[in-house]
Amino acid sequence: MLDYKAWQAGEELKPFKVGNLIISPPWEDAEVEEGEVLVHLDPCVVFGTGYHPTTRTCLKALWEIYQKGRPRKVLDLGTGSGILALAAAKWGAEKVLAIDCNELAVETASRNVLSNGEPQRIEVRLGKAEDVIGEEADLICANIHLQVIESLLKKRAFFKKRWFILSGVFEKDAEEIERRLIRRSVEIVQRLQEKNWLTMVGFNQRGKQSYCDPDIRP
| Predicted model pTM | 0.89
Q: Which helix (H) or strand (E) holds 37?
A: strand 37-40
In the Cβ-directed half-sphere of 110, how many Cα atoms lie within 13 Å? Answer: 11
Longest dimension (CA), the chain: 51
By CB atoms closer than 10 A (0-12, 13-18, 19+), residue 25 is middle
Q: Which helix (H) or strand (E) holds 85?
A: helix 83-91
Each residue's pLDDT expressed in tens, for the chain with a length of 218 residues: 334 443 343 357 889 999 999 999 988 888 899 999 999 998 887 777 878 899 999 999 999 999 988 899 999 999 999 999 999 999 999 999 999 999 999 999 999 999 999 999 999 999 999 999 999 999 999 999 999 999 999 999 999 999 999 999 998 899 999 999 999 999 999 999 998 999 999 999 877 655 444 434 44
For the chain, domain boundaries = 47-204
Q: Between 3.20.20.100, 3.40.50.150, 1.10.260.30, 3.40.50.300, what CATH number should domain 47-204 receive?
A: 3.40.50.150
Q: How far is CA 117 from the centre of its chain?
A: 18
Angle at 67 between CA 60 and CA 18, to 5 degrees: 30
